[in-house]
Structure 1
Amino acid sequence: MLMQQRNIVLIGMPGAGKSTAGILLAKNLGMDFIDTDIVIQNTQHKTLQAIIEDDGYLALRAIEESVISGLVCHNTVIATGGSAVYSTAAMLHLKKNATFVYLDVTLAQLRLRIHNYDDRGIAMAPGQTFEALFDERAKLYHQFADIIIHSSQQTAQQTTDNIERQLP
């Protein structure tokens, strides 16, 4: 099934379920788990939203690129932040030893799932709409994805089961 030392990287929009599915997947497969948003918060000693408010969304993206590019792990499920795909360098670093799984959730479903846009720490340009961000990122997610899971109407467990079935 899965090469023992290979990582699984989850990509997708905020609210797609990367962290929740990632924890379940790691548990089911006996793998480690890393949420890069939490790593960023721990290394910066502040929330993602505080980083955006203090330094701007591009600063958050730069920190994210640095954190992801510095990851050295094996046999790990990695839930990335939604904006991780803006860094080709970070994505290529992870691609060396990972299968990328895009959790594809419709815009309508994301709107139902996300209720805290203003304090969630979403790295988007001032004045940019969530819809514009969705359209912009979808192309990047497709570009890097090895596996695409259409998970709008799935529970976290159903999403995890679908990922497991499609892993090489």
Structure 2
Amino acid sequence: MSDRDLKFSEASGVSLIGMAGAGKSTLAPLLAAKLGWRNLDTDLVIEAFYGRLLQDVVDYLGVEKFRETEDEILSTLGAIRTVVSTGGSVIYGARAMENLQRLGPVIYLCIDCETCLERVGKGDGRGLAKDPEQSLEALYNERVPIYERYADFTIDTDKFSSDECAEQIAQWLKSIQE
């Protein structure tokens, strides 16, 4: 849980962060429906910007340039009454994360490493922003402390169904509403 002064209202947004396979793209529309909001997948925004699939964008730009580009694009994102589903690498962009925090609460969808490896496999075609020689397990271990640092609320998505996760998040949001 973060220590920042958290405000949530109808003019807020909510951002989902977490590893590939944590359920961000699955959970975002479910949570949005519960809240009566829209959902936005930032990977699709990046794909639309480049007119390419995300993995092709990562391959084209390289990991470092991709992360810089993701930071730039998401640092200018504006959204209210929207559940924002982010790419797993968004946490490397300080400006993007500051912007997402301005939009509203940041929810960390947590899964254990074993579940991540089962769901993602080698990550082929997923648009993972990692160095080719880096294992998925090493990437997981690198990112978890960063996700935890930015999280206002954490939910273990490998321990509950998607519907249960959406309901728990909605209840938490209701509990912090202004």
Does the TM-score normalized on the shorter chain lie above 0.5?
Answer: yes
TM-score, structure 1 length as denominator?
0.95
- Aligned residues between the structures: 168
1:150 aligns with 2:156: yes
Tell me, yes or no, if the aligned pair for 1:7 and 1:73 is still in contact at 8 Å: yes
**Which one is further off, 74-83 or 158-167?**
158-167
User: Stretches of 4+ moved more than 3 A in 1?
Assistant: none
Partner of residue 37, structure 2 = 31
Tell me, yes or no, if the aligned pair for 1:101 and 1:146 is still in contact at 8 Å: yes
Partner of residue 54, structure 2 = 48
**Which runs of no fewer than 5 residues in structure 2 stay unpaired?**
1-6
Tell me, yes or no, if the aligned pair for 1:36 and 1:67 is still in contact at 8 Å: no
User: Alignment partner for residue 18 of structure 1, among 21, 24, 38?
Assistant: 24
Partner of residue 166, structure 1 = 172
The alignment's C-alpha RMSD in Å is: 1.4
Q: What letter is aligned with 2:86?
A: T
Q: Secondary structure at the match of 1:83?
A: helix
**Which one is further off, 72-81 or 59-68?**
59-68
Q: Secondary structure at the match of 1:110?
A: helix
**Which runs of no fewer than 5 residues in structure 1 stay unpaired?**
none
Q: C-alpha distance in 2, partners of 1:35/1:126? A: 24
Q: Secondary structure at the match of 2:105?
A: strand
Structure 1 segment 98-109 matched on structure 2, within 5 A: 98-109=104-115
TM-score, structure 2 length as denominator?
0.90
User: Alignment partner for residue 128 of structure 2, among 108, 122, 131?
Assistant: 122
- Identity across aligned pairs (percent)? 34
